[in-house]
């Protein structure tokens, strides 16, 4: 699999500090909940939204002169509603624990740049050098919680890159902000967006009867070395030539997997018990099997799959989807690598689907926070033993392709931060009416070749 060589010259044109309109947001203090504190270790999320500029009138200079003022103004109006993104994180004078603190004049950085990279090559699914994407995401200032970058390409396209500290917001909240910003930018009038739900910041909606916040703070502070070890391991991997690629499971592919697992369960075991086989489970199980085989994690070695679940609807009582902050918790599945190592063997796929589906079912049956005080130590123990963990960034439910700044849906959305975490990213498919699922991977080139071969082989066999 040859990796295209792209030119990635990016020139910064200007940088701005963008604030909410003066006086529009009062000074505010927001405490961190137990959902937030697990991310208070400088973990960042980086995404890039690529958009076409197909009209001949949208030259680079025309775009910057006509659209940049609107993008800046709409960002300011969006920050008025989503002010924590412009806030700072600092110890509370009362508790000594970190809290969000917004004062009038707090801001985010907006970088404006131009690039002569091949836009069409960047948005393709085939493997590309990961380094091509790094200049398209903004750096984050030491005291900033978020920053943004607009990059205009010479060949009819632009991108909006963002870097957000995870402690400020989970994926659902970030997408709530992006869709609102895009809505105001597209319509040019904030009043037209009044039918969009306003973000909710009430931290009293997140009860903590088990005292998880102090428990998690203690557990995390005791495991600083673990974070360093993970970083060292990923840095060593990234010394190899890393590439980024997208794998798409169409609706037809997903339905085929669903029929295969149902038939295999009946034929091999006669199982008639219900199994949670959503499109998410089928996609995750299939990719987990491909990666397990490609990485040689077979034999008597326990492997792990970890993904976040949105707890908003799972809280008691449920809280609004408009809650802004972090409200996700880890769901953890484990199995012996040899059980799922063959993507052509339906029995192996069934094992992968079953272990993920049952993990979700246990979470729904027992409650999302059951055993929450031991969730982080279990993950730490897995890391200590050197057992492989595959995690997930994003979700098809975020509907990232619904972000429209007035130029149509994104041509492509990439999660850049998976290079730092080793995760795979998930999003709804841009095509297929959004019923398929896109999987993003950033891997050493040789490993990506093996994954691509297994991915094709497993689907082509049926």
Task: Give the domain CATH number at 97.
Answer: 3.30.559.10
C-alpha–C-alpha distance, residues 135 and 161, integer Å: 10
Residue after which a domain boundary falls, among 221, 243, 277: 221
In tens digits, the chain (462 residues) has pLDDT values of 445 444 458 999 999 999 999 999 999 999 999 999 999 876 899 999 999 987 655 678 888 898 999 999 999 999 999 999 999 999 998 888 899 999 999 999 999 999 999 999 999 999 999 999 999 999 999 899 999 999 999 868 999 999 999 999 999 999 999 999 999 999 876 655 556 789 999 999 999 988 999 999 888 877 666 556 555 555 555 557 899 999 999 999 999 999 888 888 777 655 555 666 899 999 999 999 999 999 887 767 889 999 999 999 999 899 999 999 999 999 999 998 888 876 556 778 888 999 999 999 888 888 888 888 888 788 878 877 888 999 999 999 999 999 999 999 999 999 999 998 899 999 999 988 889 999 999 999 999 999 999 999 999 755
Answer yes or no: do 290 and 399 share one domain: yes
Nearest to 241 by CA among 388, 391, 46, 442: 442
- Cut 0.85: pTM above it: yes
Answer yes or no: do 84 and 204 share one domain: yes
Q: How far apart are the first and last CA of the chain?
A: 24
Answer yes or no: do 357 and 375 share one domain: yes
Q: Which one of the listed residues 8, 58, 166, 297 is annotated catalytic?
A: 166
Told to judge if 404 belongs to the known catalytic residues of this protein, a careful annotator would answer yes
Q: Residue 3 falls within a domain, yes or no?
A: no
C-alpha–C-alpha distance, residues 303 and 287, integer Å: 14
What is the three-state SS of the chain? Answer: CCCCCCCCCEEEEEEEEECCCCCCCCCEEEECCHHHHCCCCCCEEEEEEEEECCCCCCCHHHHHHHHHHHHHHHHHHHHHHCHHHHCEEEECCCCCCEEEEECCCCCEEEEEEEECCCHHHHCCCCCEEHHHCHHHCCCCCCCCCEEEEEEEECCCEEEEEEEEECCCCCHHHHHHHHHHHHHHHHHCCHHHHCCCCCCECCHHHCCCCCCHHHHHHHHHHCCHHHHHHHHHHHHHHCCCCEEEEEEEECHHHHHHHHHHHHHHHHHHHCCCCCCCCCHHHHHHHHHHHHHHHHHCCCCCCEEEEEEEEECHHHCCCCCCCCECCCCEEEEEEEEEHHHHCCCCCHHHHHHHHHHHHHHHHHHHHHCCCCCHHHHHHHHHHHHHCCCCEEEEEECHHHCHHHCCCCCCCCCEEEECCHHHHCCEEEEECCCHHHCCEEEEEEEEHHHHHHHHHHHHHHHHCC
CA distances 236 to 190, 231, 257, Å, are: 47, 9, 35
CA distances 445 to 62, 280, 353, 452, Å, are: 39, 26, 27, 11
Answer yes or no: do 366 and 399 share one domain: yes
Which residues constitute the domain of residue 168? 10-221
Nearest to 47 by CA among 153, 151, 133, 144: 133
Answer yes or no: do 106 and 185 share one domain: yes
Answer yes or no: do 206 and 195 share one domain: yes
Domain count across the chain: 2
Q: Residue 2 falls within a domain, yes or no?
A: no
Residue after which a domain boundary falls, among 201, 221, 241: 221
Residue after which a domain boundary falls, among 221, 254, 278: 221
Q: Residue 195 falls within a domain, yes or no?
A: yes
Answer yes or no: do 217 and 236 share one domain: no
Burial of 129 (0-12, 13-18, 19+ CB in 10 A): middle
The dihedral region occupied by 392, where left means phi > 0, alpha psi between -120 and 50, and beta the remainder, is beta
Nearest to 37 by CA among 227, 221, 201: 221
Told to judge if 166 belongs to the known catalytic residues of this protein, a careful annotator would answer yes
Q: How many CB atoms lie within 10 A of CB 319?
A: 17
Q: Residue 55 falls within a domain, yes or no?
A: yes
Antiparallel, parallel or unpaired: β 28-31 and 98-102: antiparallel
């Amino acid at each position: 699999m040859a990796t295209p060589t792209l030119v990635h010259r990016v020139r910064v044109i200007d940088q701005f500090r963008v604030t909410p309109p003066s006086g529009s947001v009062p000074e505010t203090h927001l405490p961190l909940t137990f959902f937030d504190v697990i991310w208070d270790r400088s973990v960042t999320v980086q995404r890039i939204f690529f958009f076409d500029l197909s009209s001949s009138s949208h030259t680079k200079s025309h775009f910057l002169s006509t659209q940049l003022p609107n993008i800046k103004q709409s960002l300011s109006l969006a920050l008025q509603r989503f002010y924590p993104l412009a806030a700072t994180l600092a110890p509370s004078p009362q508790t000594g624990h970190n809290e969000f603190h917004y004062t009038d004049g707090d801001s985010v950085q907006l970088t404006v740049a131009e690039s002569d990279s091949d836009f069409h090559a960047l948005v393709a699914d085939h493997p590309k050098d990961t380094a091509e994407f790094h200049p398209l995401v903004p750096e984050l200032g030491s005291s900033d919680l978020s920053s943004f970058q607009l990059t205009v390409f010479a060949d009819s396209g632009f991108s909006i890159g963002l870097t957000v500290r995870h402690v400020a917001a989970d994926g659902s909240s970030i997408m709530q902000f992006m869709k609102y910003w895009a809505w105001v930018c597209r319509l040019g009038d904030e009043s037209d967006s009044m039918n969009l739900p306003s973000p909710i910041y009430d931290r009293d909606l997140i009860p903590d009867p088990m005292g998880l916040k102090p428990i998690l703070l203690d557990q995390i502070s005791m495991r600083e070395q673990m974070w360093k070890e993970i970083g060292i391991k990923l840095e060593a991997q990234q010394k190899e030539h890393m590439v980024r690629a997208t794998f798409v499971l169409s609706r037809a592919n997903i339905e085929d997997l669903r029929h295969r697992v149902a038939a295999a369960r009946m034929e091999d075991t006669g199982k008639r018990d219900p199994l949670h086989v959503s499109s998410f489970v089928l996609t995750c199980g299939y990719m987990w099997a491909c990666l397990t085989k490609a990485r040689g994690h077979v034999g008597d070695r326990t492997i792990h799959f970890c993904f976040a679940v949105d707890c908003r609807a799972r809280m008691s009582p449920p809280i609004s989807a408009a809650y802004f902050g972090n409200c996700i918790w880890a769901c953890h599945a484990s199995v012996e690598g040899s059980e799922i190592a063959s993507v052509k063997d339906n029995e192996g796929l069934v094992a992968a689907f079953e272990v993920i589906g049952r993990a979700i079912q246990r979470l729904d049956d027992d409650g999302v926070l059951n055993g929450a005080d031991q969730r982080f130590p279990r993950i730490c123990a897995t890391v200590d033993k050197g057992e492989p963990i595959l995690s997930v960034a994003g979700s098809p439910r975020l509907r990232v392709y619904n972000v429209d700044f007035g130029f149509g849906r994104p041509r492509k959305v990439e999660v850049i931060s998976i290079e730092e975490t080793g995760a795979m990213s998930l999003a709804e498919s841009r095509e297929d009416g959004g019923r398929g699922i896109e999987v993003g991977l950033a891997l050493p080139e040789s490993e990506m070749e093996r994954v691509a071969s297994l991915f094709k082989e497993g689907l082509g066999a049926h």
